[in-house]
Structure 1
Amino acid sequence: MRCRWVEIGVLGLVTVLTGAQAPPPASIDVTVHEGTSMSVAVSPDGRTLAVDLQGSIWTLPAAGGPATRITDIYNDARQPTWSPDGKWISFFAYRDGGYDIWTVAPDGSNQHKLTWGPFDDREPIWSHDGTRIAFSSDRGNALGSDYNIWMLDTRTGGLRQLTKAPSDDYMPSWSPDDKEIAFASAREDGQSVWAVNVADGSERKVSSAAGRVDAPSWGPNGQIVYHVTTGGGRGGGGGAEGSRYEIAGRPLTGSENVFAFRASWAASSDFFYVSDGKIRKRSAGGGSPQTVEFAATLQVTRADTAYTHRKRDFTSTSPRQVLGVVRPVISPDGKQIAFAAVGDIYVMPVGGKPENITRDRALDTDPSWSPDGTELVYSSDKDSEHLQLWIRDMRTGQSRRVTHLTTQPQGATWSPDGKRIAFFNVDGMWRVAQMSVLDVASGTVTKVHDTLAQPGTPTWSPDGKRIALAEVAPFTRRFREGTNQVLTIAADVGRPFQGRPGAEPERLALRGAGNIAGAGTPQRGVLRPDNDGDKWYAPVPALSIDSRGGCGPVWSPDGTKMAAIYEGVLAVWPVSTAGEPLGPPRRITTESAHAPSWAGDSRHILYQSIDKLRIIDVETGEVRTVPLDLKYTPAIPKGRIIVHAGKLVDMKSPTVR
């Protein structure tokens, strides 16, 4: 299952003193006459249009008029297409953890799935004989693949892959005789229409354009309408900005902003499409388009009536319990815990009281113990505009700054020999970061990996030769969707990372380990060669480590195990000295878990569970709670600050004051 977070508002049942239920929030009707990122498909008899609008499938008369929603609001349904007999409307939807192919009757009944699995299936299109559906899919290696054209036999449910080039192939369209399928492709800079022979899989280039090509649509007379993007948009290249349809290099739609979806043929020369938010109909031979007017009524709920506003206390100076504990780490001897809270670093004996060891006005965060337990490294912005690394000698109580960077080092972790510290070095917006290593004795910082997308906290192999971290493994280059998996990189500071453009890292997914609980014996997957030494591992193919922030992986000090958070709980799996999984992850908690940290015995793990700290014995499963009583007193500002605002949006009126 790929990760997609969805916020769901839960409306509690509120009772008044009489015991009666409060009325549900009133909905408001909003009628629209245009759509954004909307596609259209005409029925085989030419009487009805299906469109995707605000995540649902709607139907309306082909001549225009009111639209009727036939699917609910929970589908994220896209790009409808009609079966040749008019009995089904197929589409792809993100209803069950990923994009799958679905179908529904035109009256909204009998909605059901046609494809399953962790991969994305998109852009279905029916064959003219009604026996097959072509679609694009990133089915393949869970650690990275590409989109290909696939075919579903609607009689048997069998699947067959048609294209196999190492490029993204997508948006299929059947030839009039069903012998070929046209498609768009990322090959050759994405500026061509290609076709694959359904019988033997041979491919040919059909046409090219001076811009990015999408959404070919094969007409009854053999002509192919395709979409072309030019200018600085998504892969449009140079030239003037444009978003249009073409046939064999001939522009069809003038200055219209045509949406990049397949045209839907109504006759031998006429087709429907969407441009400028409007449904249009035009002839492939030229001329002006006809606009099909429609009205779709959506129901929305006023947010301010959907919940009870919480009362906030901004003025009380009464002590409050600390709830935001950041990166708790257990000392190698298992006797102490360090963590960050309310901007400072705290250390406490297991079962004792926490002591504030920084006590300053700076932001102090991300502590980590040295292997012998005599030092702590942490990030702090004291004496600097940015976070820097500091080391505190736990014997003397003295701290020293060890980095002087223009970037922001975070997530510091000591090497097993205590001579180096690995960290992610934030060098851009949204916490994109290089991976770097500090030589503690000399203060030299060496970049060991180019910038990554929000990398996780590093963890060292037992021999100090490799660093593992959580990083997003995109399913394809076409979209950003992917899963958080284990990336291991070379830690050899004598060989700084030199990224090769387009380099493919080695990737290994455990086959046959379909889920954590009760997974079968894993089999080795296929490695992709990479000269730069990166290796990816998927302990559970297509299942994501929950987050790259605080969910692992963490390597046990003896190098035999890794731990991470999967589906909200703590899991442990055996690994080789290089970090390769040797078995499937095993759940060792049943409660919510976060921020795992190994003790030096490689048997006990400290973790957070909501507002509690726990220590678990990974062999026996015994769990004990570490009491944490830490309170703070809010610093209530004194005095008055006057803010001079030229204009004010009060969030109550559309008028700016």
Structure 2
Amino acid sequence: MSSSDCVPCRYRVFFSRFLLLTLFLALPVAAFAKAEKRDAKPADKKKEEPLPLKPTRKVEFTTDEGTWLSLDVSPDGKTLVFDLVGDLYTMPISGGEARKISNGMGFNNQPHFSPDGQLIAFVSDRGSSENVWISKPDGSDPKQLSQDEQVEFASPTWTPDGQYVIAARESQFPIQTFELWMYHIKGGAGVQITKSKPKPDASPRDWTHAIGASASADGRYLYYASRGGFFDKVYNVSFPLSQITRRNRITGEEDVVTDAPGSAFRPVISPDGTKLVYGTRYETETGLRIRDLQSGEERWLKYPIQRDDQESLFTRDFLPSYSFTPDSKDVVVTWGGKIHRVNVANGEEHEIPFTAKVERDLGPELNLRLRVEDGPVQVRIIQAPVQSPDGKRMAFSALTHLYVMDLSSGTPKRLTNDQNREFQPAWSPDGQWLAYVTWAVDGGQIWKTRADGSGSPQQLTHVAAYYRDPAWSPDGQRIVALRSPRIAHVEEFDEFGHLGTMDLIWVPADGGDANFIMPAHGGQHPHFGPEKDRIYLYSDAGLTSLRYDGTERRVIVKVVGKSWFPQPPEKGEGNPADDVRLSPDGNWALAQVSTQLYLLAVPHMGGEAPTVDINKSVLPLSKLTDVGTDYIAWSNDSKTITWAVGSTFLRLPIDKVVFEKPKSPDDKDKEKDAASKPEPKPEPPKARQAKKDSSAGATSSDSNASAEEQKKNKPKPEEVAVKLEFPRHHPSGTVVLR
């Protein structure tokens, strides 16, 4: 019950799984002219300083193998360049001791020789953020080509004329799709080749990644891997996910040239233009296939090799880069930590031995000494807290049991002595009873008990099932709830979602058979508004009301906002809110969007239900939270808003809420026009800074004053901290391992 009882909590867990951060912070190389350095004032120098991370440690070792080595062969066939632990190395193609050509704390990777062998292109965050760089083959004279601050790059390669570097550029979250860009070695902001969205209003499921480009030697074609979808194409995937696309660099026409069941990725065209090699999955392993572009004949070149990265976020492409030799007779590729040379004609391979001395500067050690608590266990979160009808008490669930506390004294008291796991208390309209649900592997029930703790709990339902979200009818005669089969809930893989299979039911307040109303269709949190005979519940379709027999269904209001989990919004209109609750008087609604709480007016106008975008509402709207909320509710008289964060219960009278200035239809049209404009090209950091500096003096004082005024006028809710402690369990017995 724990995670399914809290939609925002589930979203936080989902979100935290995506924060897989292992970032090397970079120190920039010299990027400013000597004249600028001489003329710069102390304040200007401070602006140009890099990130404050300084090397305090060093790791050194010698190795003859490495993980995820991206490499390339020089045009004369004599030299290999490859990356290892964030540094670049070169060595003879026959093998031997590798020479490190990069230094500092920057993470340098995916090197690629220019067609004339005079330069290498690579990806590096040495300038404080990841960008495309070029340098001489010995690492000297580095130059930053792209000028981005919050994007990622992968798979840099060259156009045959050596004038441009083509790289996959992944825009900042929430878009997060790779697109191909090309950057001239003389400068400029770059030119976009592919677009992730085929149309401006395309659904996220129709967005397309473009990554791992390889240009034909005649300059006519560009081959790359194209992959559609968003997060749904990262986890729990079904193949194929990507195929090789060929783009005509003259006409822009594109054709998909593979139909590999295990996907196709990391294409490489031979220097003589006659062969295509690409990676694919077969059964559980990855291999390289080779195609004769003249005859169309295709076969395995090498199987298996390095495992591909299809089920992850492929931030450094689906495979490490590999390369043909200049005569197109061999392919040099890495797997198993070693470098191998594979003959194209017969598939024979031999290892290219190498040794590399790794020397990496590291920042401060981040290991913290944390004391393991051995005192009482303190409750850090309360579940489903609800205020009593008279506003004097609060009921909640904590550590699987129900508690009631006076809001004035703040001392929680256990409500029952049962050993059942108790959740989601709901007050009767007269404040005399609390209904709640229980859960166990054998099934749960709906119960009620006296709110003062007297007497014994009474079981209201007769059939064991999974129940949730109980709510009393305004007349106190019925209890409405959601129900699904016991075994279905027991066998669920996890507790994320699964609302689509639940039914909406009601039971008599004195107990009896459950009465089926209708399938909930993903609806949750049934509650009541101004009518005694209509039930309200919320789903992605909007806030809906219906009668006890499931008829006369009406959508009251839809609320959307910029929430990016579990997927980005469809067609730019925003995702549905996590939860919406109508006030008992029917005039207001609470909406939870990306864990934040909003209050909005609900118009009653008949016809199609209005859609309220919390980012540009034309109705009275107020954002009530900054740090988010776990649970939301109304007082019975609609005069007080309540919510909870962790173990703190908060409430705010509605007459103290300050509303944002509504936006006129003209303002909405202007925002729509602005949103439809193409995304501006990235500007060099100096240009961005110049714009900021030119406008800072005119606007900083006004914006600061406005922010301070908003902060001053924002109402402060009453906070009630819930303090509960329990004895900590201390294991006893014999230590087996120490």
Alpha-carbon contact 2:472-2:479 (below 8 Å) kept: yes
1:126 and 1:304, CA in 2 relative to 1: closer, same or farther beyond 3 A?
closer
Aligned partner of 1:358 in structure 2 is 416
Aligned partner of 2:374 in structure 1 is 313
Aligned partner of 1:151 in structure 2 is 181
Which residue of 270, 273, 278 corresponds with 1:219? 270
Is 1:632 aligned with 2:725? yes
- For 1:574 and 1:104, the matched residues in 2 are separated by 56
Aligned partner of 1:503 in structure 2 is none
Which amino acid is the alignment partner of residue 215 of structure 1? R
Alpha-carbon contact 1:33-1:296 (below 8 Å) kept: no
Q: CA deviation at 1:439?
A: 0.4
Which amino acid is the alignment partner of residue 651 of structure 2? I
**Percent identity (aligned):** 18
Which amino acid is the alignment partner of residue 630 of structure 2? A
Aligned partner of 2:633 in structure 1 is 598
- Where 2:264 maps in the other structure, the secondary structure is strand
Written as runs of structure 1 = structure 2, the 5 A alignment for 1:461-476 is 467-468=538-539
Which amino acid is the alignment partner of residue 275 of structure 1? W
Is 1:428 aligned with 2:492? yes
Alpha-carbon contact 1:346-1:355 (below 8 Å) kept: yes
Is 1:440 aligned with 2:506? yes
- For 2:304 and 2:88, the matched residues in 1 are separated by 27
- For 2:492 and 2:101, the matched residues in 1 are separated by 43
- For 1:574 and 1:185, the matched residues in 2 are separated by 45
Which residue of 385, 402, 406 corresponds with 2:441? 385
- For 2:142 and 2:598, the matched residues in 1 are separated by 42
Which amino acid is the alignment partner of residue 59 of structure 1? Y
Aligned partner of 2:356 in structure 1 is 295
1:157 and 1:186, CA in 2 relative to 1: closer, same or farther beyond 3 A?
closer
1:35 and 1:359, CA in 2 relative to 1: closer, same or farther beyond 3 A?
farther
Written as runs of structure 1 = structure 2, the 5 A alignment for 1:538-549 is 538=575
Q: CA deviation at 1:38?
A: 3.8
Aligned partner of 1:481 in structure 2 is none
- For 1:113 and 1:603, the matched residues in 2 are separated by 55
Which residue of 238, 252, 259 corresponds with 2:301? 252
1:554 and 1:191, CA in 2 relative to 1: closer, same or farther beyond 3 A?
closer
- For 1:449 and 1:299, the matched residues in 2 are separated by 56
Aligned partner of 2:43 in structure 1 is none
Is 1:34 aligned with 2:65? yes
Which residues of structure 2 form unaligned runs of 5+?
A: 1-14, 24-54, 199-205, 229-238, 293-297, 309-317, 508-513, 551-557, 604-608, 659-712
Alpha-carbon contact 2:277-2:289 (below 8 Å) kept: yes
Q: Deviations over 1:312-361 (max 9, x none)?
A: 326xxxx6654343343445665433322233121223323322213433
Q: Which has the larger radius of gyration?
A: 2
1:45 and 1:390, CA in 2 relative to 1: closer, same or farther beyond 3 A?
farther
- Where 1:212 maps in the other structure, the secondary structure is coil
Is 1:5 aligned with 2:19? yes
Which residue of 382, 394, 406 corresponds with 1:337? 394
- For 1:461 and 1:113, the matched residues in 2 are separated by 56
- For 2:106 and 2:397, the matched residues in 1 are separated by 40
Q: Deviations over 1:264-322 (max 9, x none)?
A: 24414144322222222334344424424243647799x999433515326xxxx6654
Q: Deviations over 1:492-517 (max 9, x none)?
A: 8999xxxxxxxxxxx9987xx899xx
Aligned partner of 1:325 in structure 2 is 382
Aligned partner of 2:510 in structure 1 is none
- For 1:133 and 1:409, the matched residues in 2 are separated by 59
Alpha-carbon contact 2:503-2:519 (below 8 Å) kept: yes
1:630 and 1:514, CA in 2 relative to 1: closer, same or farther beyond 3 A?
closer
Which residue of 312, 323, 346 corresponds with 2:403? 346
Which amino acid is the alignment partner of residue 19 of structure 2? W
Is 1:128 aligned with 2:160? yes
Q: CA deviation at 1:88?
A: 5.3
1:571 and 1:466, CA in 2 relative to 1: closer, same or farther beyond 3 A?
closer
Which amino acid is the alignment partner of residue 594 of structure 1? T
Which amino acid is the alignment partner of residue 538 of structure 2? I
TM-score (norm 2): 0.58
- For 2:424 and 2:103, the matched residues in 1 are separated by 47
Alpha-carbon contact 2:381-2:646 (below 8 Å) kept: no
Aligned partner of 1:170 in structure 2 is 210
- For 1:339 and 1:180, the matched residues in 2 are separated by 65
Is 1:263 aligned with 2:319? no
Which amino acid is the alignment partner of residue 358 of structure 1? T
Q: CA deviation at 1:31?
A: 4.9
Alpha-carbon contact 1:434-1:447 (below 8 Å) kept: no
- Where 1:199 maps in the other structure, the secondary structure is coil
Q: CA deviation at 1:207?
A: 4.5
- Where 1:623 maps in the other structure, the secondary structure is coil
Alpha-carbon contact 1:362-1:380 (below 8 Å) kept: yes
Structure showing the higher helix proportion among its residues: 2
Q: CA deviation at 1:434?
A: 1.3
1:224 and 1:611, CA in 2 relative to 1: closer, same or farther beyond 3 A?
farther
Aligned partner of 2:287 in structure 1 is 243
Alpha-carbon contact 1:226-1:246 (below 8 Å) kept: yes
- For 2:382 and 2:365, the matched residues in 1 are separated by 31
Alpha-carbon contact 2:153-2:169 (below 8 Å) kept: yes
- For 1:313 and 1:431, the matched residues in 2 are separated by 31
Q: Deviations over 1:583-629 (max 9, x none)?
A: 34865445x44324132366644344565433345436322443445
- For 1:247 and 1:446, the matched residues in 2 are separated by 57
Query: Aligned-pair RMSD on alpha carbons?
Result: 5.3
Is 1:276 aligned with 2:336? yes
Which amino acid is the alignment partner of residue 338 of structure 2? K
1:370 and 1:438, CA in 2 relative to 1: closer, same or farther beyond 3 A?
farther
Q: CA deviation at 1:174?
A: 1.9
1:377 and 1:134, CA in 2 relative to 1: closer, same or farther beyond 3 A?
farther
Q: CA deviation at 1:216?
A: 1.0
Alpha-carbon contact 1:150-1:163 (below 8 Å) kept: no
Q: CA deviation at 1:252?
A: 1.7
- For 2:446 and 2:379, the matched residues in 1 are separated by 24
1:395 and 1:290, CA in 2 relative to 1: closer, same or farther beyond 3 A?
closer
Is 1:182 aligned with 2:196? no
- For 1:43 and 1:282, the matched residues in 2 are separated by 17
Alpha-carbon contact 2:397-2:422 (below 8 Å) kept: yes
1:559 and 1:439, CA in 2 relative to 1: closer, same or farther beyond 3 A?
farther
- For 1:243 and 1:323, the matched residues in 2 are separated by 50
Aligned partner of 1:61 in structure 2 is 91
Q: CA deviation at 1:61?
A: 2.4
Q: CA deviation at 1:413?
A: 6.2
- Where 1:220 maps in the other structure, the secondary structure is coil
- For 1:152 and 1:340, the matched residues in 2 are separated by 57
Number of residues paired by the alignment? 544
Is 1:623 aligned with 2:716? yes
1:197 and 1:391, CA in 2 relative to 1: closer, same or farther beyond 3 A?
farther
